[in-house]
Structure 1
């Protein structure tokens, strides 16, 4: 993780982004015509800013999510949240949750553990900070808008995941048994210091590239 990047580095890295093509939703290469899951949130609409409450500039808890249109034969669900615009070769993983029951239909606010919150007892995998919790959006200043991909996958079986599965383990399980997928994009942007001086806003939390 790149932490506390100065504005000049954020500007210099503006052209360096993992890219939407590399998020699991697109990299998985699911065939055309496969069922699509509708993923929404009561906190923000698709391609709109994520409220500060759910980022490193606020309480840093995970946002509420809902999903519908699961296909028949869904045995379990997986949630992966990635930053498509992180200045890294692959998107930064902000959350992994596996083993969600099909009948759940939603995740409540703060359901995923975070630094000051125990969560709702979910089976949580490792984020890019190697922690089994929600990693709040915290893009570097001056790097521009970051797109956070909330991806929900339906599986035809319930794989036996490790205690804290990482992206590769989950990707292989999805490759083997994913039958539908859905995507919700939320955005977050931290202006550079020169803009923040004019805003007289409260000081932001620790800065991290993601």
Structure 2
């Protein structure tokens, strides 16, 4: 008997990397000046601790960054899975009002009950979730990429805590002066 037959049939079905915020027309022209790091290397597996509910502890990883331009007044972080078998990538986290001088955020800082400083807001991700939602791909669907995209803005976004991805992209349009990303992977058999 084939294990996870539906997931295996859906393996070629992916939302697509071209649909993530990184490739949104307004963001794609910004230079990639920011280096984003964590406890996992670029392209490596995300530790199970950071996987979603029922799989891991659903604790957001610590993130560190460098190369943020001095002109930046705010950072926006968008976490997306472009490998979900859906028309659009799944938004696993949407955060704005991040202090550009912070240099990073500690483990667990993207939880709904946490505040990473004044002005820090947590938007609405896929399925109306707020806060960090760790990797939890369909078992047998193959590896999924989780892309932590950091955008430096030259003006405050003005986003509130209930902002959606569409509202966030509209708010940062024309204000992204630099960007950086970190890609981690997760797979369930």
The answer on whether the counterparts of 2:44 and 2:184 sit within 8 Å (CA) in structure 1 is yes
The answer on whether the counterparts of 1:54 and 1:137 sit within 8 Å (CA) in structure 2 is yes
Structure 1 residues 147 and 182, CA gap change in structure 2 (3 angstroms) = same
CA shift, 1:174, in A, is: 2.0
Structure 1 residues 31 and 61, CA gap change in structure 2 (3 angstroms) = closer
Runs (4 or more) in structure 1 with deviation over 6 Å come to none
- Select which of 39, 42, 46 maps to 1:50: 46
Q: How many residues align?
A: 182
CA shift, 1:28, in A, is: 3.4
RMSD: 1.6
Query: 2:96, 2:32 → 1: CA distance?
Result: 19
* Partner residue in 2 for 1:170: 168
The answer on whether the counterparts of 2:22 and 2:28 sit within 8 Å (CA) in structure 1 is no
Task: Give me the TM-score of the superposition, normalised by structure 1.
Answer: 0.82
Query: 1:51, 1:159 → 2: CA distance?
Result: 32
What per-residue deviation string (whole Å, max 9, x for no partner) do you get for residues 89-112 of structure 1?
111000011010111110110001
* Aligned pairs for 1:120-131 within 5 A: 120=115, 122-131=120-129
The answer on whether the counterparts of 2:123 and 2:131 sit within 8 Å (CA) in structure 1 is yes
CA shift, 1:154, in A, is: 0.2
* Partner residue in 2 for 1:152: 150
* Aligned pairs for 1:1-210 within 5 A: 7-30=4-27, 34-41=31-38, 43-56=39-52, 57-113=55-111, 118-120=113-115, 122-191=120-189
CA shift, 1:133, in A, is: 1.1
CA shift, 1:33, in A, is: 7.0
The answer on whether the counterparts of 2:121 and 2:160 sit within 8 Å (CA) in structure 1 is no
Task: Give me the TM-score of the superposition, normalised by structure 2.
Answer: 0.90
